[in-house]
Structure 1
Amino acid sequence: MSELPGWRELGAIFHNDRSFVLRIVQPGLAGLMDGSVSTLAPIFATAFATHRSHTVFLIGAASAVGAGISMAFSEGLSDDGELTGRGNPVFRGIVTGLMTFVGGFLHTLPFLIGNVHTALTLAYLVVGVELLVISWIRYRYFKTSFGMSCFQVIVGGGLVFAAGILIGSS
C-alpha cells in the first residue's frame, strides 16, 4: 500500500514550529474559519424559514460536507508548496477540508434535537465556542491580540449570521 503524500513528513513537521504553522495550523485555521462562518447563513436561514430541526440538520450537514470538499480542493490546488515552503498540497488540502467540515458540522449537531428552539439555543452556544477557539488559535500561533482577534472573528461571523436571519425571516 502506498503512503499518502505528506504523511511521512508529518514527524518532521511537528519538530519545526514554522513548518507546523505553515503546514498544519494555517490550513487548519483557514478551514475552521471557513466552515464555522460559511455554514452559518444556510443553517440559520433554514431554521428560521422552516422551524424544522431535521431539515436544518440535513442542510447543515450538506453545507459542511460541501464546504469541506471545496476547501480541500481549493487549498490543494492553490499552491504546490515548493515556492512558499507550505509542504505537500494533498496533505494541506486534507487538513483544510477536514477542519472546514468540523467547523461547519459542530454547530449543525444541535439540530439532532427535535425542538428547533432548544437546538438554536445550543447552536448559538456552539458557535460562540467555535469563535473563541478560532480567536485563541490566532492569538497562540499568529501573535494576534486575543481581544482584537475575538472582535474580528465575531464581526465576520455576525455578518454572515445576520444574513442568514434576514434571508430566513423573509
Structure 2
Amino acid sequence: MLSRVFGFGRRPFSSLSEQEILALAISSEEDDARIYRSYAEGLQVDYPHSARMFEEMAAEEDRHRALLIELHRKRFGEHIPLIRREHVKGYYERKPDWLVRPLGIDKVRQQAEQMERQAQLFYLEAVKRTSDASTRKLLGDLAAAEQNHENLAHKLEQQYVPGDIREEEAATERRQFILTYVQPGLAGLMDGSVSTLAPIFAAAFATHDTWQTFLVGLSASIGAGISMGFTEAAHDDGKLSGRGSPLKRGLANGIMTSLGGLGHALPYLIPNFWTATSVAAAVVFVELWAIAFIQNRYMETPFLRAAFQVVLGGALVFAAGVLIGNA
C-alpha cells in the first residue's frame, strides 16, 4: 500500500532503455483500448451512438499497438519486457472504468480526451529530458500519434454524436438520474420529514424532555430509513421499469428518509426545551420548502402547487403531533 502511495519500488523514467520505453507504450495502448471497450459496453444500452465512437477509438488503439509491436520486433526481437504504468515513477495513471462510468456520458467523453492529452504531454516532456537521438525520435513519434488520437476523438464524436444525438443522450442521462436518485430520494425526504413530525413533536410536548424527544426522533428516523430503503430496493429490480439499480435507489431513499427525520430531531440535543423546539420548527420549515423546490426543479411540478401541497401536509402532521402531545 505504502509503495503505491509514495512510489517505492518504481523506476524513474530516465532509467528506462529504448526497448523498455517501447514496451511501456505497447502496454499503455493495450490498457487504453481495454478501457475504451469497457466504456462502449457500459454505454451500449442507453447511449449506442457514443458506444460506437468508443469502439472506433479502441480499434484505433489496437492499430497503433500493432505498429508498435512490429517496430519492437524489428529492433529488439520477439520478447517484449513486462513494464506497465504502475512500474514507472511519475507516469500518468488511468481511472478504472467503474469509477468513471457512473459519472455520466459527458464525464466519460472528458475522461477519453484527458487520456489522450495525458499521453501526448507525457511523451513531449520525455523528449525534452532525453538526449539520445533515436530515443527522441521514438518519443516524438508517440507524441504525434497521441495528438492524432485526440483529433480522432473529436472527429468520431462529430460523426457518431452530432448535436441532436448529443441532446437526446443528455435527456436520457437526466431522465435516468431522476429515476434512480431524485425520485426515490425525494420520496424518502418527504416521508422522513413529514411522517416523523407527529411522533417527535408529540413526544416533545408530552414530556418536555429534550433527550427523550431526541431518542424518539432518532429511532423513528433510523427505523423509517431502513424500512423505506429496503422497500424501495425490493419492490422493483429496475429491469422492466428502467429505474436503474435497486441498490442505488434503496440507498438514496433510505438515506434521505433518515436525514428528513434527523433534521428536526437533532435540535433536541439542545437542553432548553423551547430553544430546541424553536430550532426544530425552523428546520421543518426549511425542509418543506426544500421538498417543494426539488419537486419544481426535477419533477416539473409548479412551485406554488408543490409548496401548497407540502406545506399544508406538513402543517397538518405538525399540528397533529402538538395536539396529541398536549392531550
Relative to the length of structure 2, the TM-score reads 0.49
Kindly tell me the number of residue pairs found equivalent between the two proteins: 165
CA RMSD, 1 decimal: 1.7
- Tell me: CA distance 1:89–1:116, structure 2 relative to 1, closer, same or farther (3 Å): same
- Equivalent AA in structure 2 for residue 78 of structure 1: H
2:169 is equivalent to residue 24 of structure 1: no
Give, in whole Å, the separation in 2 of the partners of 1:156 and 1:83.
32
**Structure of higher CA gyration radius:** 2
How far off its partner does 1:166 sit? 1.8
Larger relative contact order (Cα-Cα within 8 Å, sequence gap ≥ 6): 1
Give, in whole Å, the separation in 2 of the partners of 1:169 and 1:75.
35
2:103 is equivalent to residue 11 of structure 1: yes
1:57 to 205, 214, 227: 214
How far off its partner does 1:156 sit? 1.2
Q: Which runs of 5+ in 1 are unaligned?
A: 1-5
- Moved beyond 3 Å, runs of 4+: 6-9, 12-15
Q: Which runs of 5+ in 2 are unaligned?
A: 1-97, 108-169
Relative to the length of structure 1, the TM-score reads 0.92
- Equivalent AA in structure 1 for residue 323 of structure 2: L
2:307 is equivalent to residue 150 of structure 1: yes
- Tell me: CA distance 1:110–1:138, structure 2 relative to 1, closer, same or farther (3 Å): same
Give, in whole Å, the separation in 1 of the partners of 2:199 and 2:314.
13
Residue number in structure 1 paired with 2:268 = 111
Give, in whole Å, the separation in 2 of the partners of 1:99 and 1:7.
23
2:277 is equivalent to residue 120 of structure 1: yes
Give, in whole Å, the separation in 2 of the partners of 1:7 and 1:142.
28
Give, in whole Å, the separation in 2 of the partners of 1:149 and 1:95.
21
Give, in whole Å, the separation in 2 of the partners of 1:82 and 1:8.
22
- Equivalent AA in structure 2 for residue 89 of structure 1: P
1:81-114, Cα deviation, whole Å (9 max, x unpaired) = 0111001111110110000000000111110100
SS in 2 for 1:69: helix
